[in-house]
Amino acid sequence: MMTTEVLEKTQYAFPGLLNGKVGIVFGVAHKTSIAWAIAQRLSAAGMKLIFTYQGDRLKENVEELANTIEGSMILPCDVTKDEEVAAVFEAIEKQYGQLDTLIHSVAFAKKEDLAGAFIDTSRDGFMLAHEISAFSLTTLAKAAAPLMEKSGGGSILTLTYLGGERVVKNYNVMGVAKAALDMSVRYLASDLGPKNIRVNAISAGPIKTLAARGISGFSSILNYMEEHTPMQRNVTANEVAGMALALVAPELSSGVTAEVIHVDAGFHAVGF
C-alpha cells in the first residue's frame, strides 16, 4: 500500500493532546466539508466542540454529523448577523466559560461572480463576498478573544486559497476576498499576539466539496493538479485536518502565528 493510502485510512488522533480544550467550528455544511474533517480530528484528540450552521436549510445535516461527536453542541450562526454571532459566544460563555480554538471555514460569492471576467463584478457581489469570506474572520475573532483570554490564549484558524495570491481562472472576486482574508490573518495575529492568541491560515489545494461542486470544470482542475503539483496528486480534507490539528495544539505550534501554510502538494511553488 502506498504511504498516502495508509495516511488516508488512519485517523492519527494523538489521543489526549487536546483534552480539556474547547473549540468552535464554523463552516460544516456536509460530510465533505473541510471543517468536518478538521472537527473529527480535533474531537479525536480530546477537544469539546461547538458546531454552527448557516440557516435552517443546513440544520438537519449539521445535526446529523454533530450527533456522531459525543458532547458536542450545535447553534445557528449566519456570520452576517451580529445578533446570531453574539448569541453563539454567550452560549459558550454560559456552558464552558472558556474557548481555546476557533475554526473559520466559511466563504461565499454569488455564482455569477465566479465565472467570466473579474472586471464585471457588481458592487453588491463584491461587498457580499468580502463580508462573508473575509470580514467574518474579524467579527468572530473579536467575539472569541475575551473567552480565549480566559483560557490563557488560543488559536484561530481560517481556510484560504492560492487564488488570493495569484490569478486563478474564474476565482475572481473570491480571490480578492481571500487576499483580504490573508492580510486579516496577519493584522489579527498582531492585535491578539499579546494575549497569546495565534491566528493562522491553511491554504488548501482543490478539494471536491459543496463549495467546489458548483464550479464548472472542477474535475479538469483536479486532473491538472495531478500533472502539475510537485507531488503529482491532489490533497484530501484529511490532510488539511492534520495540519489544522498541529496549528491548534500549542504543544505543536506555540511559536506559529500570522502564517499561511499551503497544504496543496506543493503547487504554490510551481512557476513553469
Binding footprint of ligand NAD on the chain (CB under 6 A): 27-30, 33-35, 54, 58, 78-80, 105-108, 132, 159-161, 204, 206-207, 209-212
Q: In 10 A of CB 144, how many CB atoms?
A: 24
Residue 102 CA, chain-centre distance (Å), reads 9
Q: Which of 249, 250, 251 has the alpha carbon at shortest distance from 44?
A: 249
Does residue 170 bind ligand IMJ (CB under 6 A)? yes
* Binding site partner of 111, from ligand NAD, ligand IMJ, none, Cβ cut-off 5-8 A by kind: ligand IMJ
Q: Is the torsion defined by CA of 100, 104, 269, 4 positive or negative?
A: positive
Cα-based torsion angle of the residue sequence 257, 22, 79, 32 in order, rounded to the nearest 10 degrees: 90
* Binding site partner of 106, from ligand IMJ, ligand NAD, none, Cβ cut-off 5-8 A by kind: ligand NAD
Does residue 43 bind ligand IMJ (CB under 6 A)? no
Q: What span, in angstroms and rounded, lies between the C-alpha atoms of 115 and 112?
A: 6
Going residue by residue from 220 to 259, which x/- string records binding to ligand IMJ, judged by CB under 6 A?
Answer: -x--------------------------------------
Q: In 10 A of CB 47, how many CB atoms?
A: 24
Tell me which stretch binds ligand IMJ (CB under 6 A): 6-14, 55-63, 166-174, 241-249: 166-174
112 versus 251: smaller Cβ distance to ligand IMJ = 112
73 versus 201: smaller Cβ distance to ligand IMJ = 201
Does residue 128 bind ligand IMJ (CB under 6 A)? no
User: What is the three-class DSSP state of 47?
Assistant: coil
- Catalytic-labelled residue, pool 12, 96, 171, 224: 171
167 versus 210: smaller Cβ distance to ligand NAD = 210
* CB 47 within 8 Å of CB 22: yes
- The answer to whether 171 is a known catalytic residue is yes
Q: Which of 176, 81, 171 has the alpha carbon at shortest distance from 130?
A: 176
What region does 73 belong to: left with phi over 0, alpha with psi -120 to 50, or beta? beta
- The answer to whether 53 is a known catalytic residue is no
Q: Which residues bind ligand IMJ (CB under 6 A)?
A: 107-109, 111, 114, 161, 168, 170-171, 174, 206, 211-212, 214-215, 221
Give the active site residues.
161, 171
